[in-house]
Structures are given as structure tokens and as C-alpha cells.
């Protein structure tokens, strides 16, 4: 015979009813955030307008020139092309998160300084992210690997950027 399930009058122990929490949980540069706004909001606007992380640049409404690249997990992706709803539970690293927690520069950042690979600087964050993703999947990239990155530099720094990425790959960032 079926027995009626009798609910206790009070919550049991420390377990209390909890409403469904709305929002998109995402980790950015090691910190946890919940986005409760429009799920279609591009990640780029969330970074720049909500978190005020302005290192990632606008590179056009479809991206494509690398200025708006961020790392999602270990992959470089265009932040303007990625809606917040696609990031639930994901980990994002922006250029602000490349440096070590003690403030020490990422080897690529140091190598860009060493090789004077920065002109106006608009494209630089994107190059750093693309370079970091490249070095993770190919620790010793050749010129072709670097030339295939989607990034553009209107200041004409490509040759020095190439040298900087190869310097970082060789472990010579910060050396004469």
C-alpha cells in the first residue's frame, strides 16, 4: 500500500530551501563572477563595460583582426563574437590575467618589451593572447605558425612581434 509522504514542518538540519539562482557563472582571471544581464551580451562588453578590464580591444563587429582575443580555457577566441551564455562554467583569461599573481610579467610581455614590439599598443593585448595560446599548443613555433595568427598591426610591428614570440619560446625573455 502506498504511504503518503509527510513533509517535515521545518527545514531538516542545516538544509534550507533555496530559490533557483539566475545568472551565468564565469571565472575571469581567476575570480568568480555572475552575469545577471542579457545572456546575449558579447563577452567584450562585459569585460570592458562591466568589469572595466579595458585591455581587450574592439576590433570590429566581427573581430577578425585579433585585437579582441581572450583565452577561453586554453584557446584564443574573439570576445566580441562570444555571447555570455556560451561561457557558463568556463574560465576566461584576458591580457590583464597573463602576468603572474606576484606581478611578474609573462615571458611574452617581457619579450615584447625586449624586442620593442609595441607601437601604439592597440594590437598588443591581442598579440599577447594569441602568442600565449600558440606557445601552449606549440612551444617552439616557426615563422609560419606566427604568421598564421589572425592578428594585424597597423603600426607595422609584425617583424618585431615575430621576434618577440620566438624569444619567449626560446626562454630568453629578459635576457640581453
Binding-site ranges for ligand FES (CB under 6 A): 118-124, 153-155, 157
Nearer to ligand FES by Cβ, of 110 and 151: the residue is 151
Locate 7 and state its grid cell.
Answer: 513533509
Shortest separation between residue 112's beta carbon and ligand FES, angstroms: 10
Nearer to ligand FES by Cβ, of 99 and 155: the residue is 155
Shortest separation between residue 159's beta carbon and ligand FES, angstroms: 12
Shortest separation between residue 23's beta carbon and ligand FES, angstroms: 36
Nearer to ligand FES by Cβ, of 64 and 119: the residue is 119
Locate 114 and state its grid cell.
Answer: 625586449
Shortest separation between residue 152's beta carbon and ligand FES, angstroms: 7
Shortest separation between residue 171's beta carbon and ligand FES, angstroms: 25
Distance CA 39, CA 159 (A): 39
Torsion 34-36-40-44 (CA) sign: negative
**Pairing relation of β-strands 24-28 and 91-93?**
parallel
Locate 27 and state its grid cell.
Answer: 571565472
Contacts of 156 (CB under 8 A, 6+ apart): 119
Q: How many CB atoms lie within 10 A of CB 126?
A: 29
Q: How many CB atoms lie within 10 A of CB 86?
A: 15
Distance CA 142, CA 93 (A): 25
Nearer to ligand FES by Cβ, of 69 and 157: the residue is 157
Amino acid at each position: 500500500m502506498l504511504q503518503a509522504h509527510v513533509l517535515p514542518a521545518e527545514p531538516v538540519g542545516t538544509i534550507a530551501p533555496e530559490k533557483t539562482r539566475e545568472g551565468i557563472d564565469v571565472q575571469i582571471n581567476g575570480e568568480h563572477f555572475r552575469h545577471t544581464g542579457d545572456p546575449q551580451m558579447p563577452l567584450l562588453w562585459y569585460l570592458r563595460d562591466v568589469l572595466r578590464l579595458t585591455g581587450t580591444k574592439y576590433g570590429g563587429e566581427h573581430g577578425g583582426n585579433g585585437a579582441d582575443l581572450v583565452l577561453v580555457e586554453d584557446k584564443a577566441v574573439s570576445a566580441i563574437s562570444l555571447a555570455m551564455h556560451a561561457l557558463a562554467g568556463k574560465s576566461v583569461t584576458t591580457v590583464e590575467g597573463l602576468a603572474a599573481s606576484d606581478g611578474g610579467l609573462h615571458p611574452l610581455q617581457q619579450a615584447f618589451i625586449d624586442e620593442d614590439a609595441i607601437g601604439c599598443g592597440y594590437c598588443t593585448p591581442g598579440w599577447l593572447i594569441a602568442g600565449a595560446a600558440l606557445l601552449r599548443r606549440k612551444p617552439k613555433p616557426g615563422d609560419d605558425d606566427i604568421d598564421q595568427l589572425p592578428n594585424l598591426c597597423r603600426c607595422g610591428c609584425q617583424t618585431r612581434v615575430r621576434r618577440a614570440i620566438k624569444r619567449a619560446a626560446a626562454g630568453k625573455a629578459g635576457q640581453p
